[in-house]
Structure 1
């Protein structure tokens, strides 16, 4: 027994080492540290890295249109099932919209209260945003806004195509083709995200080289605010909703702990989709509700992403010292209510939707994304976990309201 222990220990160490060096987060962290060191000790060279950070952002922006279009079309086309369970569909979509809007509002509120993008009340000036400001904001026109905005045009086209697809005779064959295209696009995004350490290095080196180490303060404040806000949302908002049905949020989190760990490791809530559906059925939710709410929720109920997007927009506005009027804040929430529906549970998608939202707003420089690139990967885990919890709670609530919920069973699946 004692003889085999060193070998076992050695294997465990090798396994741990392999896990670490093959983890993208590890290399992003290394890239951030390298970028900080280069920017601090050689500011001139750090500033030259701006092209590297911008190049990665430009590459990411290529995926905005295809991903939003395919996600929305496939999400809506799946509503063919809603004709069989129309009442469930209406309840689910209504619940998604209300809770997602609450998440957006909480993100905006916390960002304004704690001001993570402000330093010494004067704001950190990382550039001139005046050229991005809509000079006719006081004469704002939604019609002009739509026709000058490619992102919203893609969204509207996706909604129309998704609805039309439900009435198309060859609907199933078309959906299969779109799913294959979607897989190709997301595979492409997956490989592009392998370049995230390079983009993070360029963005951080440029930021520190041009603006100094003081830029780390607002980034740290943003991360802290995002994590605290998501915890607040999960335990207060979702916890209160469950408490109304006499269910403890802590018991639910304990029940799905394996899925939460899987999401933590992959930064993608989709990684846990198959197992969470099985567990929800074992818990007591009906198969029909689980089969409808969970897949739809992955397109339309992304609470963690909503919080992150709203906080990031306000954060960047504070960094560029861009004043947003109350009407513009409502516009931001309105835009995010649409664009956030195009964020699939895949690593990097939240960053893409943020880029599309800034493009749609035309008020805050999209180049500001380089500032977020270094820490985006470390907030993606919080987004994905919150998204998973939000969809789990949504399925339970819809099952409860439909009275299609058997006795609550929170025993481990393996013991049943």
Structure 2
């Protein structure tokens, strides 16, 4: 049975107190400062960095408590394996589609054609640091890195997958112990409330972080740096928009909801991602909002953190599109076989990228290192505008993980339709109407 608790005469918050409005104003002000006073804008970088560090500080305990509480309450532990299998299958399909979209749009728009750049004239030294980091992104190294050296080390490093790995094992252990583990389970459940309250407190600083990050970006790189490579930036944003509205839109419609309404529901988080160029900045809020939208806690705890490493749709679009841009700009004609090889390598190398600034550029270097037909030095062509594409990568990754959470929850029979409809149709009541999802939280599935 679905029960809702509603406060008397719920009212919409004044517009100036709504987070998305505050972040939007901060982004505009930051852009103005960065454009007209670039030196001042560059000096504001610590504001954005400090906010991202604040959020990263809380990510590990949020993931740990969400996953442990969710799994410990499951009556059937086979559900954990089934959820992860379905999530990974979904991630694989959507990642492949994202890579294909990048290739198709590059062939359609030809953003690099006509530049006729001699590869020997490129400044390879400017991308040497990224290329060196790329060598560590091997599949074996990535899989080994999932296992933390110590439990404390997983939390200290803030590695999302390491925390998730330990949380899943610990949650399964609590579920297997049963009633004897009740004191521990109850303690974790009680601890979750102040942790999420802390998340709310930290989010109040989001406008300051967005202001500093945007002021730095515009101040350091300048809006004028977009003009030379405007076609590449436009093509990437177009490809990402097509993927979100067409591909993810079709997936959402097939599963009974609207991706546009989901975007509206998450507008505050999306503006935060836009301002900071990091989808990690909104990870705790995404987990809370997905649970509030009717997705079971355990589904949210498993799918969202895993998606931040395995479901990077924006990064995948970027890698194939950027690789073909470099090939077109340097006059290199790739055969169908070479493009398929590029797609296959990109599929593997993208799995090690987290949703943070610069990861897409590093994984692109890893991909080009393995597929030598396209010169790694060609990355120097896009280095100046990569920061402006980072925002779009993060936004697309974020939306893709939100859609994935709802879809996997529906597949598991762990989605409260009434709560989802309430969230998507009346998002301004999300913090006022608190659905009590008795069936969902019990852990029972069809």
Whether the TM-score (by the shorter chain) exceeds 0.5 is yes
User: Which residue in 1 is equivalent to 2:158?
Assistant: 179
Q: Does 1:124 align with 2:116?
A: yes
Moved more, 356-365 or 99-108: 356-365
Question: Which residue among 85, 90, 95 is the counterpart of 2:85?
Answer: 90
**Could you tell me how far apart the structure 2 residues matched to 1:254 and 1:17 are?**
19
2:346 to 309, 332, 336: 336
Report the 3-state secondary structure (helix = DSSP H, G, I; strand = E; otherwise coil) of the residue aligned with 1:234: helix
Q: 1:288 deviation in Å? A: 0.3
Runs of 5+ unmatched residues, structure 2: 1-24, 43-62, 72-76, 125-131, 163-214, 434-446
What is the CA–CA distance in structure 2 between the aligned matches of 1:221 and 1:340, rounded to whole Å? 24
Q: CA deviation at 1:173?
A: 3.5
Aligned residues between the structures: 313
Instruction: Provide the residue aligned with 1:364 in structure 2.
Output: 374
Counterpart-to-counterpart distance in 2, 1:316 and 1:114: 14
Q: Among residues 101, 115, 135, which one is paired with 1:106 in the alignment?
A: 101
Q: Does 1:313 align with 2:308?
A: no
Deviations 1:347-388 (A, max 9, x none): 122112222222222222222222102211111111111111
Q: Secondary structure at the match of 1:85?
A: helix
Identify if the C-alpha distance between structure 1 residues 282 and 17 changes in structure 2 by more than 3 Å, giving closer, same or farther.
closer
Separation in 2, partners of 1:330, 1:244 = 29
* Alpha-carbon distance in 2 for matches of 1:259, 1:243: 22
Match of 2:194 in 1: none
1:191-230 pair list within 5 angstroms: 219-230=229-240
Measure, in 1, the Cα distance between the counterparts of 2:298 and 2:384. 41
Q: 1:415 deviation in Å?
A: 2.5
TM-score (norm 1): 0.65
Distance 1:323 1:88, change over 3 A: same
When residues 102 and 15 of structure 1 are mapped into structure 2, their CA distance, relative to the original with a 3 A threshold, is closer
Residue matched to 2:283: 273
CA change 1:302–1:182 in 2 (3 A) is: closer
Alignment of 1:158 with 2:158, yes or no, is no
Q: Structure 1: give runs of 5+ residues left out of the alignment.
A: 1-13, 32-73, 133-148, 184-193, 205-214
Cα distance between partner residues in 2 of 1:26 and 1:326: 48
8 A contact 1:268–1:384 mirrored in 2: yes
Are 1:200 and 1:373, in contact at CA under 8 Å, matched by a contact in 2? Answer: no
Alignment check: 8 A CA contact 1:107 1:311 kept = yes
Change (3 A) 1:294 1:125: same
Closer/same/farther in 2, CA of residues 264 and 195 from structure 1, 3 Å limit: closer
Which residue is 1:11 aligned to? none
Distance 2:32 2:348 in 1: 38
Provide the rounded CA distance (Å) in 2 between the counterparts of 1:95 and 1:402: 13
> 1:160–1:385: structure 2 CA closer, same or farther, 3 Å change rule?
closer
Partner of 1:245: 255
Give 1:335 deviation, angstroms: 1.0
Corresponding residue for residue 71 of structure 1: none
Partners of 2:262 and 2:29 lie apart in 1 by 32
What is the distance in 2 between the residues matched to 1:25 and 1:95?
45
Check the 8 A contact 1:263/1:384 in 2, yes or no: yes
